[in-house]
A and B are shown apart, each in its own frame.
Chain A
Amino acid sequence: MKKIALNGAGLLVALFAAFPVYWMISTSLKPSNEIFSATPQPVPTHPTLAHYREILIGNLIPGVSFLDFFLNSALVAVSTVVLSGLVALLAATAVARFRFKLRTSFLIMLLVVQMIPLEALVIPLFLMIQRLGLYNTLPSLILTYLGFSLPFAVWMLRGFVAAVPKELEEAAAIDGASRAQIFRRVLFPLVAPGLVATSIFSFITAWNELIFALTFINDQGSYTLPVAMTFFFGRDDTNWGPVMAASTLFTLPVIIFFLLVQRRMVSGLVAGAVKG
């Protein structure tokens, strides 16, 4: 009896959490007459890819298609990930492997900096982007997202670097490996899963961001996907089929990456290396 109640509550929670995602995908696959019918259909009775075809083939504005916005977003996100991963790995190594005077201060600063309300920085960063002549360019966003994702990336990678047993590096040093070799051959492969996980968080930060992209980009051809979606799909007479198709294409990479991180977290790579 009690078990039934618990399982029932579990199903309710699952329904509440997953329903909007289901409804988004389901709507994107329905023909328009089913979407706008008086009685909503729980599942698409005549599934169609027409809405996907519409947004992928047609142009949202003359000469610019959904795919172009997708590529803008991908370019910004991937650049952010590469830069922030590289810089974060160096800083994380410093913090996890060395004891130096400003170490604690740096860690506290990392914590504090993550609490800065980024929404409050739109105006001064807009000023900086104007002064640097980067207004209306994608690098303005790469730079901004690099700053936003870095503190968390360092904080997270610090744990992964610290988890690599020092004995491995010491053994390599005894075998005559140089510092650069130790870094490349021993530390890097062992930290790689952590780097992947960290990168995914940076990717999601950059991919999802709306306010700064809204402010720094004026030229419609350079819009990132979130901005394009608010501009082209935010109207009152919304045609929900294509909107849900676009939303699905925007959301799926994030969900897939997110689930990947969950699995990567429990990687037994390090334990195996020491035992072997």
Chain B
Amino acid sequence: MSSQTKSPETAAARETPARRRRRVDRLPYLLLLPALLIIGVLLLWPLGQVVVMSFYRLNSVRQLRGDRDWPWVGFGNYVDILSDPFFLTVLRNTVLFAAANVLLTMVLGTLVGLLLNRLGRKMATFVASCVMLAWATPALTGTIVWKWIFDDTSGLVTWLFNALPDGLSNGLFGRSDWTGYGWFNSPLLFFSILTLVVVWHSFPFIAVSVLAGLKSVPSELHEAARVDGASPWRVFWKITFPLLRPVFGILIVLSTIWDFKVFTQQFVLAGGTQDRPTFMLAIYSYAEAFSPPPKYGLGAAIAVILTLILLAVTGFYVRMVLRQEDES
């Protein structure tokens, strides 16, 4: 491939300069064409279309098929959403959940990464393999298993709480019989369990990335600092963290993006889209659009709001990646 562009002494040298330039110019675009078409039609066009749809009142599938008119409502959908106090609940849920999950995932992932770096070879391989299992498990089945662990009759957690001495259990929680206790009924408990599920799924990626970063740091630096009597805490903040700062930056941004749009875990844990008090933006948009009666325009407007929030975060991310490509 490159022979024609880079080494004139090969086959391309026999062609006239004009012909060569023409061929070299066109081929990469031809190779890119299918990918560009697919990305354009399946990602970029819908992205524009969701904005367009958010300005119309679309309440039936027949409108989508083009059998009926699309009444233009301007910013009507946005006004409806933003003036609804429920939107504030949803926004608060989304932001608090994302913040808690990013923090916990980063802390746990970093600690596990540091740990893997310190363990002996066999132990590190064993722990890393187990961590990989959590990473590899699909969001769907991972969530189903956690739901089983929190089952209100035979679940492991229900059994564990039942096994507590009655006096202790009564003193702490005001009840000793946990059979039939609805673990998912109060929003706070629901979000705690959802956090457990999401952190369990996402800390392996952070741990492995941090470990990869640590492997690239010369170990002499750490040893020297330790010989000088620095505590592990100081070694981390004075040496490890500054060296891995770009890695941490990207990991935080990626986690933020992922945790802002959690859907599958919530959908499965809540058993659908009925549990409105625990709605976050992604599931709110979906429920408005597709739960009967359908409100595609309203759902689209919520999706646009979610996208705008993530766009701001993405801006950060792209700037960070580009800066890194420059440095390397």
Residues of A within 8 A of B (CB): 3, 6-7, 9-11, 13-18, 20-21, 23-24, 27, 35-40, 87-88, 90-91, 93-95, 97-100, 102-103, 106, 108-109, 111-113, 115-117, 119-128, 130-131, 143-144, 146-148, 150-151, 154, 166, 169-170, 173-174, 176, 179, 182-183, 187, 204, 207-208, 210-211, 215, 226, 229-230, 233-234, 236, 238, 240, 243-244, 247, 250-251, 254-255, 258-259, 262
Contacts and interface: CB of A to CB of B under 8 A. Distances in A.
Contacts of B65: 130-131
B268 A234 contact: yes
B327 to A, nearest CB: 16
B287 to A, nearest CB: 11
6 contacts: A16-B200, A21-B133, A23-B149, A119-B286, A130-B61, A234-B268
Given A17-B130, A91-B32, A125 B42 contact: yes
A215 B2 contact: no
A248 B65 CA distance: 39
A123 B141 contact: no
Nearest to B286: A122
A122 B72 CA distance: 21
B64 A131 contact: yes
Contacts of A258: 132, 135-136
Interface stretch (B83-91, B221-229, B313-321): B313-321
Interface string B1-23: 11111110011000000000000
Given A130-B65, A131-B64, A147-B43, A120 B2 contact: no
B307 interface: yes
Nearest to A147: B42
Interface stretch (B96-104, B235-243, B257-265): B257-265
B106 interface: no
A119 B1 contact: no
A266 B312 CA distance: 36
Interface stretch (B151-159, B169-177, B186-194): B151-159
Contacts of B10: 170, 173-174
Contact of A10 (B32, B43, B119, B321): B119
B247 interface: no
Kindly name the residue among A94, A113, A208, A229 whose own CB sees the greatest number of chain B CB atoms within 10 A. A94
A14 B34 contact: no
B263 A211 contact: yes
B118 A6 contact: yes
B129 to A, nearest CB: 8
B119 A98 contact: no
A121 to B, nearest CB: 5
Contact of A90 (B32, B116, B138): B32
Given A20-B149, A230-B268, A251-B141, A116 B2 contact: no
A40 B130 contact: no
Contacts of A247: 141, 144-145
B38 interface: yes
Contacts of A123: 50, 53, 285, 289, 296, 299-300, 303
A195 to B, nearest CB: 15
Given A115-B257, A173-B3, A18 B317 contact: no
Contacts of A240: 148, 151, 154
Instruction: Label chain B's interface by main secondary structure.
Output: helix
Contact of B115 (A9, A117, A179): A9
The 9 closest A-B pairs by CB, nearest first: A147-B42, A258-B136, A94-B31, A91-B35, A124-B46, A124-B49, A120-B303, A14-B130, A173-B3
A251 B53 CA distance: 37
B292 interface: no
Nearest to B31: A94
Nearest to A18: B130
A36 B267 CA distance: 25
A240 B47 CA distance: 40
A117 B307 contact: yes
A87 B34 contact: yes
B141 A17 contact: no
A88 B35 contact: yes
A233 to B, nearest CB: 7
B241 to A, nearest CB: 20
B25 interface: yes
Contacts of A16: 134, 200
B251 interface: no
B50 A6 contact: no
A13 to B, nearest CB: 5
Contact of B156 (A23, A150, A230, A250): A23
B115 to A, nearest CB: 6
B154 A250 contact: no
Contacts of A233: 144
Contacts of B123: 7, 10
A97 B317 CA distance: 26
A111 B325 CA distance: 13
A113 B141 contact: no
Nearest to A229: B140
Contacts of A102: 29
B134 A119 contact: no
B2 A170 contact: yes
B126 A14 contact: yes
Contacts of A91: 31-32, 34-35
A97 B200 contact: no
B29 A113 contact: no
A84 to B, nearest CB: 8
User: Which of A13, A16, A106 counts the most B-chain CB atoms under 10 A from its CB?
Assistant: A13
